């Protein structure tokens, strides 16, 4: 199906030609016809499959440009995603002969200026983060959303905190009961379904993931660390290929800082992207990344969710994320649309259950080692999985005594590893003391 098959407004058609959109993606084929009819929809689609334009184009097509009141609301979980959506919207609306008032409301912008402007006029399209929109429409009552015909919740499963669900409830309380609701995410949790049941009489999830965790165009490579220095291992890995853009993920801001400093000391031009950066600095870094001024970006999961970082050829998991769903979001960055990408992850002994779960979900894992700064295939983990584990070694006995549950709380892997290492050191000390005692008796 082609975009020209729809009778889009002339300015939308002109924008699509400029952007270079010709054929629809799977999510666009499913969503656009229903959205044009004003139906509420829930779209489940992997990162990088075009879901932004699946809801943006119908909304602009149904927009009444001559009506100067709020008609559509886009809720985003982060400032970066909101700003990205704002930019994508302006790429289309700038072609309209009639000015379309699109406004961005996020933290880090001038709140007083926003309020002052709202007192004189209302935007036709509202894009922003939940906290700021709730502040303006509920707390200050200056943003009038009761006229809106459509609300979009993008990357919906990132709104998981109880406080956020309360704020969404407060925003929905000022909306029309007849409003069109569109929800999009790469994963649809049961908690999200329960929440949406309050607002949608019938929930019909449009799932175009075909039950695949990730796209076929991504190669999944796993490298054992074996208690090696991971920074040094990362350095050797980066020397084994020349990425167009490599996204390196860690689980904490502290680890992102550590990796960034290490790579910089090795002569790499590195960008750091994490949640503690001031908004202005974060915006500048994203702009430089999009202008291809960096070859390496070290990030927390902030960058994994929907932020469009073009040209990402490699995703490197310095640490596997606690939640497998975040593995999906991270690795999805490596193959936007029809691109081919590589996901490379470091793993340790204790990650066996995690890797087995990934493989059970259909991910084709390739196990490799670094030999002379070259990636070489290995059957090491596969052979380990096929043979029975011996019960003789103390370390393996400790792994059995301190099992890794199916559902892991944040930080448990690290605590478990530290506990095993502590018990192992205690055992080794006892063995050494016993050896010295024996030597003393034999003198």
- Is residue 230 within 8 A of residue 346, CB to CB? The reply is yes
pLDDT of residue 186: 75
Residue holding tokens 């309020």?
115
Per-residue pLDDT of 86-129, as tens digits, reads 999 999 999 999 999 999 999 888 999 999 999 999 999 999 99
What b/e readout covers 420-431, taking b as 16+ CB neighbours within 10 angstroms?
beebeeeeeeee
Low-confidence ranges of the chain (pLDDT < 70): 47, 160-162, 203, 209-216, 302-306, 335-339, 380-401, 404-410, 428-443
pLDDT of residue 364: 86
pLDDT of residue 386: 44
Nearest to 223 by CA among 236, 208, 205, 207: 236
pLDDT of residue 6: 92
Per-residue pLDDT of 239-268, as tens digits, reads 999 999 999 999 999 999 999 999 999 999
pTM exceeding the 0.85 threshold for the entire prediction: no
pLDDT of residue 99: 97
pLDDT of residue 402: 73
Nearest to 24 by CA among 184, 173, 208, 159: 208
Instruction: Give the CA distances from residue 113 to residues 71, 129, 291, in Å, rounded to whole numbers and listed in that order.
Output: 22, 17, 30
Rounded CA gap, 155 and 415, in Å?
Answer: 30
Q: CB-hemisphere CA count at 13 Å for 15?
A: 21
């Amino acid at each position: 199906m082609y975009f020209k098959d729809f009778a889009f407004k002339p300015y939308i058609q002109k924008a699509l030609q400029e952007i270079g959109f010709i054929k629809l993606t799977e999510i666009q084929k499913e969503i656009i016809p229903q959205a044009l009819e004003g139906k509420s929809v829930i779209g489940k689609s992997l990162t990088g499959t075009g879901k932004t334009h699946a809801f943006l184009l119908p909304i602009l097509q149904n927009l009444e440009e001559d009506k100067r009141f709020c008609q559509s609301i886009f809720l985003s979980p982060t400032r970066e995603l909101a700003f990205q959506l704002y930019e994508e919207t302006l790429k289309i609306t700038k072609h309209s002969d009639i000015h379309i008032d699109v406004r961005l409301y996020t933290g880090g912008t001038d709140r007083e200026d926003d309020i002052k402007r709202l007192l004189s006029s209302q935007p036709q399209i509202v894009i922003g983060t939940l906290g700021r929109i709730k502040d303006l429409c509920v707390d200050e009552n200056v943003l009038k959303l009761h006229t809106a015909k459509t609300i979009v919740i993008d990357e919906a499963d990132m709104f998981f905190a109880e406080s956020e669900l309360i704020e969404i409830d407060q925003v929905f309380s000022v909306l029309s009961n007849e409003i069109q609701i569109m929800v999009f995410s790469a994963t649809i949790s049961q908690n999200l379904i329960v929440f949406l049941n309050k607002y949608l009489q019938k929930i019909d999830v449009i799932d175009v993931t075909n039950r695949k965790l990730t796209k076929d165009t991504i190669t999944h490579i796993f490298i054992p660390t074996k208690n090696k220095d991971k920074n040094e291992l990362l350095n050797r890995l980066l020397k084994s290929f020349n990425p167009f853009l490599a996204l390196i993920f860690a689980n904490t801001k502290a680890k992102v800082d550590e990796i960034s400093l290490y790579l910089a000391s090795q002569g790499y031009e590195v960008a750091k992207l994490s949640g503690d950066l001031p908004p202005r600095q974060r915006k500048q870094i994203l702009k430089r990344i999009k202008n291809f001024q960096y070859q390496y970006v070290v990030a927390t999961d902030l960058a994994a969710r929907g932020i469009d970082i073009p040209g990402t050829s490699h995703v490197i998991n310095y640490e596997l994320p606690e939640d497998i769903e975040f593995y999906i979001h991270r690795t999805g960055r490596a193959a936007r649309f029809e691109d081919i990408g590589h996901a490379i992850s470091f793993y340790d002994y204790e990650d066996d259950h995690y890797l087995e779960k990934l493989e059970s979900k259909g991910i084709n894992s390739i196990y490799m080692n670094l030999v002379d700064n070259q990636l070489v295939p290995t059957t090491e983990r596969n052979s380990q999985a096929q043979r029975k584990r011996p019960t003789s070694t103390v370390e393996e006995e400790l792994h059995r005594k301190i099992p890794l549950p199916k559902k892991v709380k944040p930080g448990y892997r690290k605590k478990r590893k530290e506990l095993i290492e502590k018990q192992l050191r205690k055992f080794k000390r006892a063995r050494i003391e016993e050896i010295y005692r024996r030597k003393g008796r034999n003198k």
